[in-house]
Homo-oligomer: A and B are copies of this chain.
Amino acid sequence: MSIPPKPPQRSSCPINVALEILGDRWSLLIVRDLMFTGRRQFGDFRAAEEKIATNILSNRLASLARDGIIESLPDAGDRRRTHYALTEKGFGLAPMLGELIVWSARHHDTAAPPPVVEAIEHHRADWLAAMRELWMKSRDAG
């Protein structure tokens, strides 16, 4: 699929640079699906509660792959089939997403399970290690 060429960067501010890659709610919801849920196929992302449109999903998957956040990997069971997975760079968004969960749960009524929020906030290193283990598994599970 062809995606529009990347527009020139508006500034080299690190927050702006990150937002030019991720500053679209749909992109970060795909990263969320890959990081926190078992979703890893096109149809799985489509089925998420927020109901992303097919054309937006195709476009965002291509952008995220172009920017090195996700990649398509062969399934362990059937190597002709593929699934999406976060790259190391994409998994590196875990601390940021963790902070976003903590902030959101503190200020809004959300579905975040309190023990998860507590783990992110007060047992950060353990939480990150557990997340990394899940991520490694997701990269080769069939």
Contact surface of A with B, Cβ cutoff 8 Å: 10-20, 23-25, 28-29, 32, 36, 48-51, 68, 89, 92-93, 95-112, 117
Contacts and interface: CB of A to CB of B under 8 A. Distances in A.
Given A96-B96, A100-B96, A103-B93, A112 B14 contact: yes
A72 to B, nearest CB: 20
Given A13-B111, A15-B36, 5 more contacts: A14-B117, A15-B101, A23-B25, A24-B25, A95-B102
B13 A20 contact: no
Contacts of A98: 99
Contacts of A28: 15, 19, 23
